[in-house]
Chain A
């Protein structure tokens, strides 16, 4: 399972994106997409060649084939409308390309179920998914089991290497990062980095989101601390030592950094996903005031990847979807739901983040040192925690 792969969190992710709904009017639409990647048709290729290649396919071709061949239909899994602002993306598919996305219950599939759904299409049963949205571990599984095709969208180069499969078989869509979420009513000096957490003034204030042996969110918090204390994506131990030190100094509180404890201040400094913290901040609306800080010396990301099924019934629509979610417009919808889009840093440096949206987020330079881990590294970290984390 991927770091963010937990349906509860999925719901939290965008209880709020929906609420902000419509606040942002994005001018980027199909026209811009066409301008970005529609002019590369030099030698005309056959449809078969286009589909067996690894993209990108010019948008005007995708659009016309989606209408004429795929009849404007796309079968999707793992895209709950309330999660990461998929509602706006679904609406955008309809508005820009007249594509009706068929998802219903499939939207709620867990990553493992999505992979299972693709597998069962081989035997010709049930719903045939065209695309999926899965955690990286299941992305790797899908590649190993040969269930997906390679497709590099027009914005492929903007996606950090660690978030994508080099031949194009999966592509990072969006991510969350570990943050300090601070209740400023009980913590007056907001800590800036990991070293600050050792200060005596934070006695009994610092909590994490679950037991790191069980919850990915908490695992990533400990691991992020490792990065700041001589550890690495291959070595979580310094993070375990750091938290042992917080425990012996009394700064750590075993209380979970959930919404209730963050609001009362029972946990004054919670270390967990930025998107949850930003959601709490909006939902508390100043009572108390919440600050979200990305610690510069160590913050790990959890991310999701897009896959295109090898057995897709609507191969054109599947690739069109991939282009749309990775376009400026699609990526900004993710950001509106507080999920940082895969192209975030590239878009920020190109000045493509609208000011009103940027104002609601930590500054983009706080995201520059964020690190990504592979499913293998995560397995190693899990074993180290199971052996060495002491309650």
Chain B
């Protein structure tokens, strides 16, 4: 059909306006000064201690929540789809995951503060009824690990959603074939199951990484600047009522774009390997 491309046109326009164009503008902004003259000076901000620290923290929080989300999400999906599992679990898990994976931003932060903050419901319940003080155990929601816990709330369900079709694609015939050839369960997983599942699991983990990497509202609503993330620093330069340095913000955003582009390239390579097996 020569006119088939018309159907995809709205998507292309959308992607151009909301992804392509802003990316180009950010990159141009990163290489120009306030008077639109070309410069490399904006990138000097990337050598500042607190900016480097922000990149480290952003990468660490994304990494931790991606690995945690991937492991728990995969196991949950596998357990729910297993033959021995109750049938009714599957639709409930998938529906819940669909909802929870989209719960983010300010409401998510406030939900956790109301539950696990210093005056949160669960904190007070544990303290008053069970005499367990989360605070004395060293737990504070307003820290790196507190934020990681909050991110897991949407990362795990997202992994479940990504893994359900993958695990369903693991055909029963492969298992039966290897068993009839005398393979043990361990041998099946080592030589068949894992080699097939590794690329999609890694790809999904990268997606989780990107999902956390760009997040802003949740972390800011939780601890303002208390957890030093790149996205929050960028916010100071463009949205605060104190500083306005959009070109420095563009330089920092370009750094994020480089990291995300790397993730997407790896993702697409892995995706291609997967699609050889699972269709």
Report the minimal beta-carbon distance from A4 to chain B, rounded to whole angstroms. Answer: 10
Please measure, in the bound complex, the distance between the C-alpha atom of A371 and the C-alpha atom of B228, giving whole angstroms: 31
Cβ-defined partner of A390 (8 Å) among B50, B119, B223, B235: B50
Known A210-B224, A266-B117: A382·B243 in contact at CB below 8 Å: yes
- The reply to whether B117 and A391 form a contact with Cβ atoms under 8 Å apart is no
Q: A253-B142, A254-B223 are in contact. List 13 more A-B contacts (CB 8 A).
A: A1-B241, A211-B225, A211-B236, A213-B236, A214-B243, A215-B240, A218-B224, A255-B117, A255-B142, A255-B223, A382-B242, A386-B243, A389-B225
Cβ-defined partner of A216 (8 Å) among B110, B119, B222, B241: B241
Report the minimal beta-carbon distance from A183 to chain B, rounded to whole angstroms. Answer: 10
Residues of A within 8 A of B165 (CB): none
Q: For chain A, what secondary structure do more than half of its interface residues adopt (helix, strand, loop), or is it mixed? A: loop
Q: Supply 6 A–B pairs (Cβ within 8 Å), ascending by A.
A: A213-B240, A216-B242, A256-B224, A382-B243, A391-B223, A391-B228
Interface 1/0s, chain A 371-391, versus B by CB < 8 A? 000000000001001100111
Interface 1/0s, chain A 178-204, versus B by CB < 8 A? 000000001000000000000000001
Please measure, in the bound complex, the distance between the C-alpha atom of A390 and the C-alpha atom of B228, giving whole angstroms: 8
A265 at the interface (CB under 8 A from B): yes
The residues in B between 222 and 253 inclusive whose CB is less than 8 angstroms from any CB of A are 222-228, 232, 235-236, 239-243
Interface 1/0s, chain A 347-372, versus B by CB < 8 A? 00000000000000000000000000
A6 at the interface (CB under 8 A from B): yes
- The reply to whether B118 and A215 form a contact with Cβ atoms under 8 Å apart is no
- The reply to whether A5 and B119 form a contact with Cβ atoms under 8 Å apart is no
Interface centre among B118, B142, B223 (most CB of A within 10 A): B118
Residues of chain B having any CB pair with chain A under 8 Å: 50, 110, 113-114, 117-120, 135, 142, 221-228, 232, 235-236, 239-243
Please measure, in the bound complex, the distance between the C-alpha atom of A219 and the C-alpha atom of B240, giving whole angstroms: 11
- The reply to whether A215 and B119 form a contact with Cβ atoms under 8 Å apart is no
- The reply to whether A254 and B226 form a contact with Cβ atoms under 8 Å apart is yes
The 4 A-B residue pairs with the shortest CB-CB distance, nearest first, are: A254-B226, A214-B240, A211-B225, A254-B223
Please measure, in the bound complex, the distance between the C-alpha atom of A382 and the C-alpha atom of B243, giving whole angstroms: 8
Please measure, in the bound complex, the distance between the C-alpha atom of A6 and the C-alpha atom of B240, giving whole angstroms: 10
Residues of A within 8 A of B142 (CB): 253-255
- The reply to whether A215 and B242 form a contact with Cβ atoms under 8 Å apart is yes
Report the minimal beta-carbon distance from A2 to chain B, rounded to whole angstroms. Answer: 9
Residues of A within 8 A of B222 (CB): 254-255
Cβ-defined partner of A266 (8 Å) among B50, B113, B225, B242: B113
Please measure, in the bound complex, the distance between the C-alpha atom of A210 and the C-alpha atom of B225, giving whole angstroms: 8
- The reply to whether A204 and B135 form a contact with Cβ atoms under 8 Å apart is yes
Residues of A within 8 A of B114 (CB): 264
Interface centre among B223, B225, B242 (most CB of A within 10 A): B242
- The reply to whether A219 and B242 form a contact with Cβ atoms under 8 Å apart is yes
A260 at the interface (CB under 8 A from B): yes
Please measure, in the bound complex, the distance between the C-alpha atom of A253 and the C-alpha atom of B140, giving whole angstroms: 10
Residues of B within 8 A of A390 (CB): 50, 228
- The reply to whether B241 and A214 form a contact with Cβ atoms under 8 Å apart is yes
Closest to B235 in A: A214
Residues of A within 8 A of B119 (CB): 186, 264-266
Report the minimal beta-carbon distance from A117 to chain B, rounded to whole angstroms. Answer: 20
Closest to A257 in B: B224
The size class of the interface chain A forms with chain B is 20 to 34
Please measure, in the bound complex, the distance between the C-alpha atom of A389 and the C-alpha atom of B242, giving whole angstroms: 14
Please measure, in the bound complex, the distance between the C-alpha atom of A205 and the C-alpha atom of B153, giving whole angstroms: 27
Interface centre among A260, A386, A389, A391 (most CB of B within 10 A): A391
Please measure, in the bound complex, the distance between the C-alpha atom of A390 and the C-alpha atom of B225, giving whole angstroms: 8
Closest to A378 in B: B242
Please measure, in the bound complex, the distance between the C-alpha atom of A256 and the C-alpha atom of B225, giving whole angstroms: 10
Please measure, in the bound complex, the distance between the C-alpha atom of A390 and the C-alpha atom of B236, giving whole angstroms: 14
Closest to A382 in B: B242
Report the minimal beta-carbon distance from B203 to chain A, rounded to whole angstroms. Answer: 33
Report the minimal beta-carbon distance from B193 to chain A, rounded to whole angstroms. Answer: 44
Known A6-B241, A260-B110, A382-B242: A213·B225 in contact at CB below 8 Å: yes
Please measure, in the bound complex, the distance between the C-alpha atom of A218 and the C-alpha atom of B240, giving whole angstroms: 12
Interface centre among A5, A216, A254, A256 (most CB of B within 10 A): A254
- The reply to whether A215 and B241 form a contact with Cβ atoms under 8 Å apart is yes
- The reply to whether A391 and B135 form a contact with Cβ atoms under 8 Å apart is no
Report the minimal beta-carbon distance from B3 to chain A, rounded to whole angstroms. Answer: 46
Residues of A within 8 A of B227 (CB): 254, 391
- The reply to whether A391 and B242 form a contact with Cβ atoms under 8 Å apart is no
Closest to A207 in B: B224
Report the minimal beta-carbon distance from A13 to chain B, rounded to whole angstroms. Answer: 15
- The reply to whether B225 and A214 form a contact with Cβ atoms under 8 Å apart is yes
Please measure, in the bound complex, the distance between the C-alpha atom of A5 and the C-alpha atom of B240, giving whole angstroms: 12
- The reply to whether B135 and A255 form a contact with Cβ atoms under 8 Å apart is no
Closest to B225 in A: A211
Residues of A within 8 A of B236 (CB): 211, 213-214, 386
Report the minimal beta-carbon distance from A167 to chain B, rounded to whole angstroms. Answer: 28
Please measure, in the bound complex, the distance between the C-alpha atom of A264 and the C-alpha atom of B225, giving whole angstroms: 21
Report the minimal beta-carbon distance from A375 to chain B, rounded to whole angstroms. Answer: 12
- The reply to whether B224 and A211 form a contact with Cβ atoms under 8 Å apart is yes
Residues of B within 8 A of A261 (CB): 113
- The reply to whether A391 and B226 form a contact with Cβ atoms under 8 Å apart is yes
Report the minimal beta-carbon distance from A17 to chain B, rounded to whole angstroms. Answer: 22
Residues of B within 8 A of A210 (CB): 224
Please measure, in the bound complex, the distance between the C-alpha atom of A6 and the C-alpha atom of B239, giving whole angstroms: 12
Report the minimal beta-carbon distance from B137 to chain A, rounded to whole angstroms. Answer: 14
Report the minimal beta-carbon distance from B19 to chain A, rounded to whole angstroms. Answer: 26
